[in-house]
Structure 1
Amino acid sequence: MSWRNLFMNGPKVLKLRGNFVHEGNYEDGEYERLIINRDDLLKQFEKIISMAEQLSEDNLYLYHIGI
């Protein structure tokens, strides 16, 4: 919930720096530019929070094996 609360007070449009992308030569690389709508991000956080609460209430586990 802390992440949700943090972003809730942020700007409507989040401009973030992503991964460093290059094609073999680091000198020609650059960082990805991520532009994210805050409200869409908050909806995703709400889904994750809801799922986590249900897992906790029903004494269930989430098996995660990667991205």
Structure 2
Amino acid sequence: MHDFYLIKKTETQDEEFFQYFWRDKEQYIDLIVEYIGLEDNLVEYIFDSLTWIPCRNPSLPGMPQDIGFNNIGVTLFEEHSAPCLISIFTAWCDLLKNGPEEILKMIYYHDYSEDELLRFDRDYAIAKFEKMSSISKQLSEGNYYIYHMGI
């Protein structure tokens, strides 16, 4: 599961806050505006496009600017991330609207079993991606962060 939290910006948030938010989030419930959970199969399907998003890495000293989504750790998205987030999630919504009710990604490079097929419900994915686009629009206002915790 990939957890995304739209959190309010405050003047007291520092590097340590972002490094440990995932662990102490119950203490900051008043800062959490929205939450979205994306299943790993959805993220895996669109992963390549998530590597294009400008972000910060709270796990590294100084929270350096980065490009891409930290699949197995934390990622911090700021106001400058918003246009790319909005564009990517809106584009995936538009693309999936043309697909079948069940999206199926087959693994072509070897023999595969039914368990190895990546599948998900199109309308469910569109609803999740629309919500991601919506919180990304709020991010663009400059008053929030999107904090991601990967698998």
* Length-normalised TM-score, structure 1: 0.65
Give the CA deviation at 1:64: 4.4
1:44-59 equivalences in 2 (<5 Å): 44-57=128-141, 59=142
Higher relative contact order (CA 8 A, sep 6+): 2
Give unmatched runs, 5+ long, in structure 1: 21-26
Using the TM superposition, give the Cα deviation of residue 47 of structure 1 relative to its aligned residue in structure 2, in angstroms. 1.0
- Structure 2 residue runs without a partner (length 5+): 1-89
* Alignment correspondent of 2:117: 33
Alignment RMSD: 2.6
**Aligned equivalents of 1:66, 1:36: Cα separation in 2:** 19
Larger radius of gyration: 1
- CA gap of 1:62–1:15, structure 2 versus 1, over 3 A, is same
**Is 1:10 matched with 2:110?**
no
> 1:23-61: CA deviations, max 9, x gaps?
xxxx9x84721221100000110110011001102x133
Q: Which runs of 4+ in 1 moved over 4 A?
A: 63-67
% identical equivalent positions: 38
**In 2: Cα distance, 1:63 partner to 1:44 partner:** 16
Alignment partners' CA distance in 2, 1:66 and 1:52: 18
Matched residues, number: 58
